[in-house]
Amino acid sequence: MPVVVVVGAQWGDEGKGKVVDLYAERADMVVRYGGGANAGHTLVIGGQKIVTHLVPSGVLHPRARLVLGDGMVVDPITLLEEIAACRERGLLPDGQLLVSARAHVILPYHRWLEAVREDQKGAIGTTRRGIGPAYESKAARRGVRVCDLGRRGRLRELVEQNLDEISRLIGRAVPAGEVDRLIADAAAAGEALAPMIGDAGREVDRAIAAGQNVLFEGAQGTLLDIDHGTYPFVTSSSTIAGGACTGVGVGPTRIDRVIGISKAYCTRVGGGPFPTEMQGEEAEAWRAAGQEFGATTGRPRRCGWLDAAALRLAVRVNGLDGIALTKLDVARGRGPLKVCVGYRLDGALLDEPPGDAEELARAEPEYMELEGWQGESREARRIDDLPPAARTYISALERLVGVPMWLVSVGAERAETILLRDPFAG
């Protein structure tokens, strides 16, 4: 059966939680492959909102095995709190969640370091969850992994080694008592998580070999990818479909389909170039209509017109088979609608974003305008149920980016969705 990767095709916050929840109904396994608790995935069922940060968005489907892959950075305290919150709702029974022993661990000193950097001039606007510093420790080969939480001597050795350098960077020595508490807390978290820790990559491979439906859930978005995003205003990991292979431990030939998630407009959180950004009252109106506030931080998101040029980049680097378009309902009553089809930069017309953030900041978007619509769309369950102008908008996007729509979300609720193609079909 198919192995499907779901990735964000913009700057994150595209609605991956809802799409993964929908697709997970047919999945035997849902796997997070990168990032950490900086990713907030929102699920709305029966008017109730559930936000997950580390636990995969398939948590509402008890038959699906949930996996945190090798490529993640996991805050063990946050994970335990999230597990407890899920169980208070009757979710996440024993045995459903598997945490990779090879995943790296976020500890308090990673957050301390990120906070110091974010308070300095030129900060990029991170979530202050310690994600970047944890990946730095990993790349420097001194990171603490989940498997180290159960080895008290090894844990102390690694923590003290890291604190020697981080103390200089944060401008204070960490008292011995605080170090002891940090180690004790981490070890206790490791003990609590011990029944869930295992060889995630091996278990995923076995599920694929057994013919199960496996769904890989990305975090953040393509334009925040460490290699292909608007560097340096990016996250610290690979957010594209290829990251599913490296972050879980499966070969690229095992992936059958890749679906990119895009809003019917654009948003961005934090610093960095945003060519199609709206300003003033227009931005405020879209932000209010779309409830564009971060699920993790609560920060207001910057809003802009849909960027088809950026979506072309997402199609290319992810090898997208199709797009799941979300928040179409937010565009109702807001015409005419602009869509960026390319950029003018130094006299040239570009059909994809330039690779340099300074050049992207200078680029002038070239727009086409499409008619808006007034009719309500949240009851639509077929494309033909949508107002004609909404159907035209969708068709125009398909032509501009070169791949078809597989799903159109017309509201926050799970049921408020038009399913066009089944990613797990033969």
Give the whole-angstrom CA distance, residue 234 versus residue 229: 6
CB atoms within 10 A of CB 189: 21
Give the position of tokens 């086409």.
368
Q: Going by C-beta distance under 8 Å and a sequence separation of 6 or more, which residues neighbour residue 30? A: 20, 24, 56, 57, 58, 61, 64, 65, 66, 67, 215, 217
For CA atoms 284, 290, 296, 302, give the dihedral sign.
negative
User: Taking the alpha carbons of 103, 104, 108, 113 in that order, is the dihedral positive or negative?
Assistant: negative
Three-state SS at 322: strand
Is the Cβ–Cβ distance between 76 and 183 less than 8 Å? no
**Residues classed as catalytic:** 13, 41
* Positions of E strands within 126-227: 197-198, 214-217
Residue 322 CA to residue 319 CA, distance in Å, equals: 9
According to the 3-state scheme, what is the secondary structure of 176-200? HHHHHHHHHHHHHHHHHHHHHEECH
Structure tokens at 245: 């292979």
Q: Is 79 exposed, middle or buried (0-12, 13-18, 19+ CB in 10 A)?
A: buried
Coil, strand, or helix at residue 104?
strand
Are 237 and 26 a contacting pair, CB within 8 Å?
no
Cα 231 from Cα 225, distance rounded (Å): 8
